[in-house]
Amino acid sequence: MIKSKKILIPLCIVFALAEIQLSYIIQTAPAPNNWDFISVALACAFCFLFVEKSTSYVFTQLALLFTVGADYFLTYGNNFDQLSGMIFFSFVQVFYFLRLFFEDENKQRRKVHLFGRIAASICVLIATQIVLGDNVDA
């Protein structure tokens, strides 16, 4: 982890400016382009500057790594692989959930959060089956 403010502050400024520029390019460049993938990969790489031994960091970095994987399959790769992208993205959601779950010290709120996620996931699966019927796939 970089702890020197002389290095960290300029790197944060450069990162923010790069992401602002990438955001503009993503919105204005004709499709298809790879700028969105580059933006996500840059954010993932930038997170390594803050490496630490904590569950919050590990879950955040794993979520960012899986976001890069999902983005690769959904936007960057030569073969658009929606199923692999969605599987990777599902892991992203699990890692962010785990980060929030383990950061919350209130046991009641953790229980509500856990059961709320489970109930929402079941509802989404049922709704997908109802809407798509026989056309539902993995």
* pLDDT on residue 79: 72
* pLDDT on residue 137: 77
- Over residues 7-40, the pLDDT tens digits come to 888 999 999 999 999 999 999 988 777 888 899 9
- Over residues 91-134, the pLDDT tens digits come to 999 999 999 999 999 999 999 989 998 999 899 889 988 998 88
pTM of the model: 0.81
Could you tell me which residues come within 8 angstroms of residue 74 by beta carbon, excluding any fewer than 6 positions away?
80, 81, 82, 85, 89
What distance in Å separates the CA atoms of residue 62 and residue 91, rounded to the nearest whole number? 9
* pLDDT on residue 83: 86
The answer on pLDDT for 3 being more than 80 is: no
Q: Which residue has the higher pLDDT, 109 or 78?
A: 109
